[in-house]
Amino acid sequence: MIAPLLPEAFDYAQALERYAGTQDGFLTEQDTAMTATFARYDYLSVTLECIRNADPVTRLQLLLAYYLQ
In this predicted structure, what is the pLDDT of residue 18?
Answer: 74
* 47 vs 53, more confident: 53
CA distance 40 to 55: 24
pLDDT one-digit tens code per residue, 17-44: 777 777 878 878 888 888 899 999 998 8
Q: What is the SS3 assignment for 7-37?
A: CCCCCHHHHHHHHHCCCCHHHHHHHHHHHHH
Query: What is the model's pTM?
Result: 0.57
CA 49 to CA 51: how far, in whole Å? 5
Please, which contacts does 8-11 make with residues 24 or more away whose CB atoms are closer than 8 Å? Answer: none
Q: What is the mean pLDDT of the chain?
A: 81
